Structure 1
Amino acid sequence: MSIATLKDLYIDQLQDIYSADQQSLVATRKMRDRATSESLKNALQAGTEGIQRGIEQVGGIIKKHDANPTGEFCKGMEGLVKEAHARAIDAEDIKDEDVRDASIITQYQYMTHYGIAGYGTAASFARRLGLEEDAKILQECLDNTYGGDRTMTEIATGEVNREAMA
């Protein structure tokens, strides 16, 4: 896709978010399956549900603009997912389950922060383009992503990091 206008860039960014969310959904499910803390498992389950909603919402926005949701592959999230595999999902060198849970939170938050940047940028572009309905949906996705990040911080500081120190 040629990017000549802010609208072109907006669609490109939405496609990037769509791809990033699809990749992070798979990784989040795997992290959920490896987690041992019940509160972490529950938060990751809620995260998968939120990511799935984001995929549906962003896909709908892209289609509304007569574009293909799968028109872009997010290399940034690809790298973050590889890190999640290496440092949490497949990290056989992490023997302590509590330390693995702490690593899972770390990797999830890296992916979440990528999502925060993407949703925030896209919402800003939508507002500038006068696409208020799009902006509202993207702001909701952004708020939900921030909420998931805060939940992970609460779990880390309230339980998991303490257990990993024991």
Structure 2
Amino acid sequence: MNKGGLSFGEIEATVLDAERLATELDALGPDAGTESMLFARALRTMARNLRFALVSPPDEIMLMKMVLTLETTIRRVSARALDASGPPASQRPTLPPPPGATPREVWDSLPPSRPRGPETVRCPLPKESEIRAKVEPVDGDVVPPSRRKTS
């Protein structure tokens, strides 16, 4: 049987994943970080609300949003709370360029980006009139003098 485009088995699997992760967070206790109890509580609350939504009158759009929100929360919490190796990747320091290479050489050695495909409703391509400025290297350097760090 389907509800919201998903089978009850898929929805229940998501709920069970959330409850399993909450149990793991409880088992880790304070070793999982100061927010682990809050994450566990949020996961259990979302799982309970999703189960209530399964037996309530059908609102398929809301049910789909709840499932997607719970899946996203599971991924975020598992990556953040169970990985105690340090800060998230977005907050880790970047590696310096190889010895003897300038930032410009490193930039030029990167492979070209893949084509993004057609524009989508959520992320339309800017029109030529909407492009305000293009970044051009100044004197062979990609960082303008006003933004350079001085040591």
User: What TM-score do the two structures reach when normalised by structure 1?
Assistant: 0.40
Greater relative contact order structure (CA < 8 Å, 6+ sep): 1
Structure in which a larger fraction of residues adopt helix: 1
Task: Select the structure of larger CA radius of gyration.
Answer: 2
